Amino acid sequence: MEHQMINITPAYDAKGNPNFVDTKGNLIEGVYSGLDNKAYHALPALSSSGLKTFSTSPAHYYRTYLSDVERKRTLAQERTFETGDLAHKLILEPDGFYDEYAKELNPLDYPKALKTINDLVGKCCELGLKKTGKKADLIARLTDEDVNLKFYIWDCIKQEHLNSNVGKYLVDPIVWEDAHRCLETTRKHPLANELLTDGYAELSVIALCQNTGLWLKTRPDWLRLDKVVADYKTTRDASYKAFGRQAKELGYGLQQSFYTYVLSLVGVYITGFHFVANEYIKADITECYTLDEEWVISSKEEMAALLFEFDECKSKNNWYGYDAAHSLKVIREPWYSKPRTPASLKQDLKM
């Protein structure tokens, strides 16, 4: 099949200067490769995630993107990869993966290793060595007696693993194994594998909205040469009903409409948009889904309305909550919370 070329620009020139901004720091429309996550998120443009947050309420957008309220993850949390994050990198950006990440050792894989002080003391007794001192003393005493014991002492095994993986992110072994099963399940699924081949991963798209003048940005997981977008999702349940609920709750329709619109602004007209859903917790299953025409149409309408609303909030710096009018609203008691009134009492109340 003959494909129309996608005009892709490297994010940086040979000297490391950004190609996505001009000399004054203004954004330049285009499709860029090689833009790192930090630089992408710092771009002064509205993203799909930002618009989905705004769809909850303008106040939610303000809190997340504009306020100085600090609810950031700790450094330890930032270094902790979830299965979805790791599977995403492993499936979509495998080049150099093992140069950047390594599996953390699992103690369960070393059942015979000497892990505790009692284990070390017991080994010292067995070899007729002095058994007093701190853990480090016991380890030094044992390895001085027999250097090969370092292969059986847990602290030595861990240190050797760290020395062999300097500069890499060490990933929880369960997360590591989950992510690799995701890779295997996805690549074994004929359609999923096809959707995630013959294309580009993580291209960064910057465009100026023709209707509002807002700068927009997006980053499709996978853009095929035939202009089909594949969006990879990990999920607790990849079944038809469950993933449909997830798609609605997490705004996948809005995401699809936003991606499609932003790409069209730079001359890339999408011919299809599909989701690859990967279940991995209780079973290893991959399914592929696409939104029906009615959902796509309603999402386009929602996106257009939200962009205008966002532009108004931004221009007025008015990031209200759920009701722009701040009106008094009457609420009805939910039917499921109403008390069950005995029939006899109902009769008495009528008299």
Residues 6+ apart with CB under 8 A from 299: 253, 254, 256, 257, 291
| Confidence class for position 77, pLDDT limits 50, 70, 90 | very low
pLDDT tens-digit map of 173-212: 999 999 999 999 999 999 999 999 999 999 999 999 999 9
Structure tokens at 328: 């008094």
Instruction: Report the pLDDT value the prediction gives residue 322, as an integer from 0 to 100.
Output: 95
* Residue of higher predicted confidence among 73 and 291: 291
Whether the per-residue pLDDT at 328 is higher than 60: the answer is yes
Instruction: Report the pLDDT value the prediction gives residue 334, as an integer from 0 to 100.
Output: 85
Whether the per-residue pLDDT at 213 is higher than 60: the answer is yes
Whether the per-residue pLDDT at 116 is higher than 90: the answer is yes
**What integer best gives the mean pLDDT of the chain?**
91
| Confidence class for position 73, pLDDT limits 50, 70, 90 | low
Q: Could you tell me which of 303, 301, 278 has the C-alpha nearest to residue 289?
A: 278
Distance CA 145, CA 168 (A): 33
Whether the per-residue pLDDT at 340 is higher than 80: the answer is no
Q: Could you tell me which of 263, 271, 266 has the C-alpha nearest to residue 290?
A: 271
Instruction: Report the pLDDT value the prediction gives residue 187, as an integer from 0 to 100.
Output: 97
Range with the poorest average pLDDT among 95-109, 216-230, 323-337: 323-337
In the chain, % of residues over pLDDT 90: 87
Whether the per-residue pLDDT at 350 is higher than 60: the answer is no
> Domains in the chain, start-ordered, CATH in brackets?
43-90+182-313 (3.90.320.10), 105-170 (no CATH)
pLDDT tens-digit map of 118-167: 999 999 999 999 989 999 999 999 999 999 999 999 999 999 999 999 99
Taking residues 86-92, report their average pLDDT: 95
Whether the per-residue pLDDT at 80 is higher than 50: the answer is no
How do the residues of the chain divide into helix, strand and coil, expressed in percent and rounded to 5? 45, 15, 35
Range with the poorest average pLDDT among 67-81, 293-307, 329-343: 67-81
CA atoms 24, 27, 31, 33: torsion sign: positive
pLDDT tens-digit map of 33-58: 999 999 999 999 999 999 999 999 99
**Which CB contacts under 8 angstroms, 24+ apart, belong to 192-198?**
192/276, 192/286, 192/288, 195/222, 195/224, 195/228, 195/230, 195/274, 195/276, 195/288, 196/91, 196/92, 196/222, 196/230, 196/232, 196/276, 197/224, 198/224, 198/225, 198/226
Structure tokens at 258: 């936003």
Instruction: Report the pLDDT value the prediction gives residue 75, as an integer from 0 to 100.
Output: 44
Q: How many CB atoms lie within 10 A of CB 205?
A: 22
* Residue of higher predicted confidence among 177 and 3: 177
| Confidence class for position 342, pLDDT limits 50, 70, 90 | low
Enter the pTM of the model. Answer: 0.85
- CA gyration radius for the chain? 28
Taking residues 237-250, report their average pLDDT: 96
In the chain, % of residues over pLDDT 70: 92
Whether the per-residue pLDDT at 351 is higher than 80: the answer is no
How many Cα atoms occupy the beta-carbon half-sphere of 154 within 13 Å?
A: 17
Structure tokens at 203: 């291209």
